[in-house]
């Protein structure tokens, strides 16, 4: 068990007290968290950076984040202490943190669809996150790190890999032999979406902004990677699909791509979106949607059972984490700035205590 709260030494954490640019990020000392009977205290060795961290830092119109907040959705480290009723972990275990939590007792939770729970939240969004030396989490959120997987790799997996899997499998129902368009191949979600789509037997057309990213996307398994700076990229997708359109589009770019993405779909196709990094507005000709029987599907995270399935795929080497760089927590502003400039391929991982 942890020591009484007022006897704990402080820990280093990445905080946001007020919304703003990267300068709003503060690395400071705070009290270590206490644990409840069903929780564990994890000593965080690596914390993944996601676009959600950027949104929490910037603020989102119409949504109130409970600031001040310790950022970080993904994390990996060692179990430091366990609550009195915890039976699935012990001190010293190497674990990653599943980033979503829910009430656990409502109808959708008991049906395995925790991401639809009215009380669903993500660490670093509505509750203090992983970008700290320690975090307290429910024991059911632990993912055992397999031998051979580093803390940095484990911290690059959960949120983005679960999101990609839920979009392709649960929402789009991607099938072998179908064609899928995946935007922004260098993003965390898209690096996993490419791998999962290929694992499912689909043909992958991806987009990326630089030649270096396009080469790396091909190495990941994309069949074709197009320049998304080309004004005719949607025409190229149509041609590469055999002039019939793709079955599924994975789009988390939003405003800059979504209208053209709809035109890339074949009749009966589906566009799945989990974000809007370029803006939230959608302008589309409704006739295009109903004449072609198109579907526009929203997607956020996935259930815990699906998370365990994705973790098993990674543990067996069927999908692999892509780490762009590892930085000390003290350089978090640099990490956020690099993501905003879209300089990364895969995930940036921060090291608390450094």
| 306: in domain | no
CA–CA gap between residue 335 and residue 350 (Å, rounded): 8
One domain for residues 116 and 249: no
What Å distances lie between residue 294 and 207, 240, 268, CA to CA? 21, 20, 5
Confidence of residue 7 (pLDDT cuts 50, 70, 90): low
pLDDT for residue 256 is more than 90: no
pLDDT at 8 over 90: no
DSSP-assigned letters across all residues of 235-255: HHHHHHTTSS-EEEEEE-S-T
Q: What is the rounded CA–CA span in Å between residue 293 and residue 275? A: 23
CATH number of the domain encompassing residue 109: 3.90.180.10
Whether residues 93 and 211 fall in one domain: no
Name the phi and psi angles at 51, rounded to 5.
Answer: -60, -25
Taking residues 84-112, what's their average pLDDT?
96
Q: What is the pLDDT of residue 1?
A: 35
For 149, the 3-state DSSP assignment is: coil
CATH number (domain holding residue 231): 3.40.50.720
The predicted model gives 198-214 an average pLDDT of 97
3-state secondary structure of 150: coil
Answer whether residue 312 is part of any domain. Answer: no
User: How many CB atoms are closer than 10 A to CB 300?
Assistant: 16
Do 120 and 209 belong together in one domain?
no
**Please, are residues 263 and 162 in contact by the beta-carbon 8 Å criterion?**
no
Whether residue 314 has pLDDT greater than 90: yes
Band the pLDDT of 178: cuts 50, 70, 90. Answer: very high
Instruction: For residues 151 and 9, state if they share a domain.
Output: yes
Range of the domain at 144: 5-157+321-351
pLDDT computed for residue 5 by the predictor: 42
Predicted confidence (pLDDT) per residue in 180-204, tens digit: 999 999 999 999 999 999 999 999 9
> What number is the average pLDDT over the span 104-132?
96
Q: How many helices (H) and strands (E) does the chain have?
A: 11, 18
Strand-pairing partners, residue 179, are 203
User: Hey, what long-range contacts does 212-216 have (CB within 8 A, 24 or more apart)?
Assistant: 212/345, 213/185, 213/186, 213/345, 214/185, 216/185, 216/186, 216/345
Question: Same structural domain for residues 98 and 136?
Answer: yes
Q: What is the pTM of this model?
A: 0.94
């Amino acid at each position: 068990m942890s020591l009484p709260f007022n006897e704990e030494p402080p820990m280093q954490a990445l905080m946001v007290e007020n919304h703003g640019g990267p300068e709003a990020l503060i690395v400071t000392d705070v009290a270590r968290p206490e644990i409840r009977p069903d929780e564990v205290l994890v000593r965080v060795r690596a914390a993944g950076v996601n676009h959600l961290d950027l949104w929490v830092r910037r603020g989102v119109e119409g949504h109130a984040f409970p600031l001040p907040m310790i950022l970080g959705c993904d994390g990996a480290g060692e179990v430091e202490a366990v609550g009195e009723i915890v039976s699935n972990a012990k001190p010293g275990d190497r674990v990653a943190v599943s980033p979503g939590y829910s009430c656990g007792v409502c109808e959708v939770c008991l049906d395995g669809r925790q991401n639809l729970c009215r009380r669903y939240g993500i660490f670093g969004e509505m509750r203090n996150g992983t970008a700290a030396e320690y975090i307290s989490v429910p024991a059911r959120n632990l993912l055992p790190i397999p031998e051979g997987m580093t803390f940095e790799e484990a911290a690059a997996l959960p949120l983005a890999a679960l999101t990609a899997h839920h979009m392709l499998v649960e929402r789009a129902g991607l099938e072998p032999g179908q064609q899928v368009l995946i935007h922004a191949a260098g993003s965390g979600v898209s690096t996993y979406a490419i791998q999962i789509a290929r694992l499912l037997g689909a043909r992958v057309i991806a987009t990326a902004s630089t030649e270096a990213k396009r080469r790396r996307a091909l190495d990941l398994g994309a069949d074709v990677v197009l320049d998304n700076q080309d004004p005719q990229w949607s025409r190229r997708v149509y041609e590469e699909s055999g002039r019939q359109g793709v079955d599924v589009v994975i789009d988390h770019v939003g405003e800059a791509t979504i209208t053209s993405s709809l035109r890339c779909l074949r009749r009966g196709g589906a566009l799945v979106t989990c974000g809007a990094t370029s803006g939230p507005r959608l302008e589309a000709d409704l006739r295009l949607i109903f004449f072609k029987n198109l579907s526009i599907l929203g997607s956020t995270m996935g259930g815990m059972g699906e998370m365990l399935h994705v973790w098993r795929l990674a543990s067996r080497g069927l999908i692999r984490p892509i780490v762009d760089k590892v930085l000390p927590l003290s350089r978090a502003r640099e990490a956020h700035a690099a993501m905003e400039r879209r300089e990364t391929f895969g995930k940036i991982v921060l090291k608390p205590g450094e």
